[in-house]
Each structure stands twice: as structure tokens, then as C-alpha cells.
Amino acid sequence: MDLQSIKNRFAIIGNAPALNHALNIATQVANTDLSVLINGESGVGKEVFSQIIHALSARKHNPFIAVNCGAIPEGTIDSELFGHEKGSFTGAMESRKGYFETVNGGTIFLDEIGEMPLGTQARLLRVLEAGEYIRVGSSKVQKTDVRVIAATNKELIEFTQTGRFREDLYYRLNTVPIRVPSLRDRKDDIPLLFRKFVADFADKYKAPPVQLDEEAKNVLINYSWPGNVRELKNIAEQISVLSQNKNINAAQLKSFLPEHNYSRLPVLSGGAGVVSQTEFANEREILYKLFFDMKKDVNELKKMFYDLLQNPNIAHNHAPVFADDIKEYSSNNGNVLPGSSSQPVILHQGNNNDIHQHEDVEESLSIMDKEKELIIKALKKHKGKRKDASLDLGISERTLYRKLKEYDIEE
């Protein structure tokens, strides 16, 4: 079957090279049993590609079912896909077949596969590798012969790096990848699609079809269409129903489009002001943060001391500084400044009016040393009270007790 025949059969409009390439891959892989992963933004028509693959395959006379993994609650998705036995969980009044059993011999389309829970991913991997599954609440292994086509609007390879998606399942599903282009990547197809939609709605609502002038066409083409074909169809229907004048100019068209144009720039997760869910997952990470905060304070204190050395006359205006990690002498009198360590840094003596050079003692960068030091400080601050010290450090009292033993710290 040639490409144009497929487009006519499945009501696909457009001649963009990226679209034609995706259709060619779908037709070539259709007559095999390979797993296919369809990737594309929401609204680009990923399900249509799954229907094309099924309709052109040897399984075309067998069942086809589309399942949205993001729409099924985590607690019931295993039962939906693989079935369950009577009494296997509360509310399981009788045994039930899952989709992999009812669609045996056919094709199952798993949309939004990135939303599938990790436990269900392990079960799906078993189906793909051995054609086997077990009902919820059963110990009997059952066989199934189902072709799996998956789709996602996420970058699953990134999910594998963060542990949200199994890497082995990703490569098993991604045997043949198909990327469906977004509408803004096929701008020449936008007027064709709009004309088709308004003609359909004109016939449906028994009204004259909408016409766009040249400026309106430019607005239509240059809009980013974050909702892709689905959004374009909705806008076409709104205009067909609500517009009194069927000859639409640019200003009238803009009144139907959202006021803000969505930015398609990438956003760094965990950026400024954003706290990731995994931040501070354990006490070691908390201590890392405390350590780097302390380093920042140390650098600020060093700068202040340097300013004091440059202008000794303002030294008496500063309150005592409490920082055990700053080890410097005042070059004016050789005495340790208030709150400083008893181990001085050697300063080069000279004329009192000179700007004195100083050398820093190399600080320990060992996380364990800093961790021990923070614990000792917290205990000293709270007069040996473990509970208060652990709260101050942001760790449990039990963890603090373990650290005391680990570092041989006497209370």
C-alpha cells in the first residue's frame, strides 16, 4: 500500500518530510512482531500510528486495545493488565481476565508508558521477554501472544537515568522507535489541516465554512500550537461555531487563540528556588549542605579580616567573630583576635602602615572530618543533649548515636 493510500484510509493530512518518514517506518515494521515505541508531544496523533501498525499487520483480524497507563490508578493497573484471582485483594469478588489475556493474538497499545509504576514495568518486561505473566493473587504462569506498541510524550532515556523507568524495559520497547513530529515542525501542513477541520464542522453544523485572509493565515502558521493537532482542531471548531463573520482576519483569529504563547525552551529541573523531591534524602546529604554553607561563611569572614588588615582603625567597630575555622593573627599586635583558633597563621611583619601578606593554613576537605566537626559543635552547643543536637543537624537521634560510635566521639 502506497503512502497516499494510507493517509486517505486513516485521515492523515500533510506532506511534511518528518511525517512521511514516520509513516514509512510504521508501514515497514507493521508486518513484523517487533515492539515499537512511538514518541511525540501530546496531541500529535500517536494512537493513529498504533492503529496503522495493527491494521497492516498479520494480527489485523485479532483484537486491538488502547490503554492509557496514566489514567489507571497505581493500585489497580496490575489487575487491569494481567487480571486477578478472586479474593486477591479487597473488592476482588471474582476472578477477572486482564488485557493481556483478552487481547491474546492481537495488539495492545500502551499510551503514556512513562507513567507506568516500576512494579508493573517488571511484569511487562517478563511479557515482552518470555510471553509470560501471572495474575494478581495467583502463582500460575500463563502464556500470551500479544504485540506491544508503546507511546510517550516524555524522554524515557532521561527517566532511566533518574530511576523512574527501567533501562532494560526501555531498550526492549525501543526496538523500533517512531518519532511523530509536532505541528510547529510541519508548518506547511497547518493551513491544510485547518481547512479540512472547518469543512468538517461546516458540514456538521450546517453552516458556511470559515475563510482566513492572508494575515490570519500567517498568524495561524506562526502560532506555536503547544496542543498540536488536537488544539488546532478545537480552535477550528470554536471559530466555526462562535464566529458570526465567516471571513476571519488576523485580529479575529487572535481572539480565539490563548493570550500567551507557550515557551518551548528547556527548563532545568531543580533550578533556583526549586527543591527536588530527592534533595536531602539522607543525613549525609544534609551534612554536605551544612559543609558548603560553612565554607561560604568562612570565605566571607576571610574577606572581612582582610578588610580589617587594610584599615586597622575600624577594627574596634566590629563585634567578635566566632569562627573556629579562621586561623589568622592580627599583624598589628600579634594577638589572636576574639573567637579565633589558637593555631595562628604566620604573618609577615613589616611597617605597620603596610598591607600585610598572609598565608592560609590548608583546610581539610574531608567530608568525614567536617561531619565529625559539625557533630562535636552541635553537642557542645546543646551541652551534650543528643536530641537537641540531632534536631539542629537535621538527622535522627539514632543516626547521631551511630555517628558518635563511628567517629569515637566522647559526649
Give the residue-averaged pLDDT of 100-116: 96
For residues 23 and 51, the answer to whether their CB atoms sit within 8 Å is no
CA-closest candidate to residue 67, choices 80, 82, 58: 80
- Looking at 31-45, 268-282, 300-314, 375-389, which range is the least confident one? 268-282
Model confidence over 53-81: pLDDT tens digits? 999 999 999 999 999 999 999 889 999 99
CA-closest candidate to residue 346, choices 333, 332, 361: 361
pLDDT at 155 over 70: yes
User: In the block, which residue shows the cell 572530618?
Assistant: 369
pLDDT at 183 over 70: yes
Give the residue-averaged pLDDT of 234-247: 92
Take residue 326 and report the three cell numbers written for it: 579562621
Give the residue-averaged pLDDT of 148-164: 94
Residue 383 to residue 360: CA distance in whole angstroms: 31
Confidence bin at 193 (pLDDT 50/70/90): very high
Confidence bin at 272 (pLDDT 50/70/90): very low
pLDDT at 26 over 90: yes
CA-closest candidate to residue 329, choices 303, 359, 354, 299: 359
Exposed, middle or buried, 61 (CB in 10 Å: 0-12/13-18/19+)?
exposed
pLDDT at 284 over 90: no
Residue 242 to residue 253: CA distance in whole angstroms: 12
Exposed, middle or buried, 348 (CB in 10 Å: 0-12/13-18/19+)?
exposed
CA-closest candidate to residue 219, choices 261, 264, 180: 261
AA identity, residue 384: G
Confidence bin at 407 (pLDDT 50/70/90): confident
AA identity, residue 398: R
Residue 4 to residue 69: CA distance in whole angstroms: 32
The pLDDT value recorded for residue 286 is: 58
Take residue 339 and report the three cell numbers written for it: 573567637
| Phi, psi angles (nearest 5°) of residue 356 | -80, 140
CA-closest candidate to residue 254, choices 219, 291, 298: 219
pLDDT at 99 over 80: yes
User: In the block, which residue shows the cell 572581612?
Assistant: 304
Give the residue-averaged pLDDT of 231-256: 92
Give the residue-averaged pLDDT of 168-177: 95
Confidence bin at 44 (pLDDT 50/70/90): very high
- State the SS3 of the chain: CCHHHHHHHCCCCCCCHHHHHHHHHHHHHHCCCCCEEEECCCCCCHHHHHHHHHHCCCCCCCCEEEEEHHHCCCCCHHHHHHCECCCCCCCCCCCECCHHHHCCCCEEEEECHHHCCHHHHHHHHHHHHHCEEECECCCCEEECCCEEEEEECCCHHHHHHCCCCCHHHHHHHCCEEEECCCHHHCHHHHHHHHHHHHHHHHHHCCCCCCEECHHHHHHHHHCCCCCHHHHHHHHHHHHHHHCCCCEECHHHHHCCCCCCCCCCCCCCCCCCCCCCCCCCCCHHHHHHHHHHHHHHHHHHHHHHHHHHHHCHHHHHHCCCCCCCCCCCECCCCCCECCCCCCCCCCECCCCCCCCCCECCCCCCCCHHHHHHHHHHHHHHHCCCCHHHHHHHHCCCHHHHHHHHHHCCCCC
pLDDT at 103 over 80: yes
Take residue 31 and report the three cell numbers written for it: 508486518
Name 243's Cβ contacts closer than 8 Å, sequence gap at least 6. 210, 252, 256
CA-closest candidate to residue 57, choices 32, 23, 20: 32
The pLDDT value recorded for residue 165 is: 96
> Any idea what the Cα angle at residue 239 is, between residues 203 and 251, rounded to 5°?
145
* Max avg pLDDT among 236-245, 267-276, 372-381: 236-245
Give the residue-averaged pLDDT of 329-340: 45
Give the residue-averaged pLDDT of 109-121: 95
Q: What is the pTM of this model?
A: 0.62
- Looking at 133-142, 176-185, 219-228, 298-307, which range is the least confident one? 298-307
Model confidence over 336-385: pLDDT tens digits? 444 444 444 444 444 444 444 444 445 555 677 778 888 888 888 888 88
Take residue 207 and report the three cell numbers written for it: 453552516
